[in-house]
Amino acid sequence: MSERGPQNEAPGPTVSPAGLTDVLAPDLSVVFCGLNPATSAVRDGHNFSSPSNRFWRVLHLSGFTPYLLRADQERQVLEYGCGVTAFVSRATKSAVELGPQDYASAAPEFERKLRAFRPKRLAFLGKPAFASVCASQRFDWGRQAMTFAGAEVWVLPNPSGLNRSFSLQRLVEEYARLRASYE
């Protein structure tokens, strides 16, 4: 036990029941929260590993990283004050396989994890997880009026390759708004 005591120790890495490790550290500038891990990410052992997922490209193009990271370099995102986690730990081929009960049952553990790591900002990637937290379907993209687990909340479009409602350019614009908010 350290001199700081067990209640003040930095939390260790968290691994979802699906086997995917969160990329988290205490006091990050922003934690990006996916809806849930893709089965391909669990198979590969890295977040956002599908070649069709635009997360790493969007992160770079919107100014969060100075160069394009690969999924297998995911831990390097911590050097830039960013983290990665998922709201629901159950892996699926597509997030449409998740229902309201998945989000409701995941919320308490997710909140505990965020309180332990204390990020300044939390960016939900897609609306379903945030909708379950705020109990509303009516909100816009961008910064929200509420906080969650002490973090400023943003809702950004999901970068999944299955989400064709947003072009790469539009994704970059939305993520860049978050980046510009704390430069």
Q: What is the pLDDT of residues 82-100, one digit of tens each?
A: 999 988 887 677 777 777 7
| Domain of residue 126, residue span | 15-180
The pLDDT profile of the chain, 183 residues, written as one tens digit per residue, is: 333 334 445 565 565 555 678 999 999 999 999 888 888 888 888 988 988 999 999 999 999 999 999 999 999 999 999 999 988 887 677 777 777 788 888 899 999 999 999 999 999 998 888 888 887 778 999 999 999 999 999 999 999 877 778 999 999 999 999 999 987
Is 109 among the domain residues? yes
Nearest to 19 by CA among 91, 96, 103, 99: 91
DSSP-derived secondary structure letter, 156: E
107 belongs to a structural domain: yes
Determine, yes or no, domain membership for 4.
no
Q: Helix 127-134 vs helix 100-117: angle between axes, to the nearest 10 degrees?
A: 80
**CATH code, domain carrying 154:** 3.40.470.10
Domain count, the chain: 1
> Residue 147: enclosing H or E segment and its boundaries?
strand 142-148
For residue 121, give both structure tokens.
């900002």
Instruction: Report if residue 108 sits inside a domain.
Output: yes
Whole-angstrom distance, CA of residue 24 vs CA of residue 162: 26
User: Residues 18-39: pLDDT tens digits?
Assistant: 567 899 999 999 999 988 888 8
Asked whether residue 151 is domain-assigned, the answer is: yes
Residue 9 lies in a domain: no
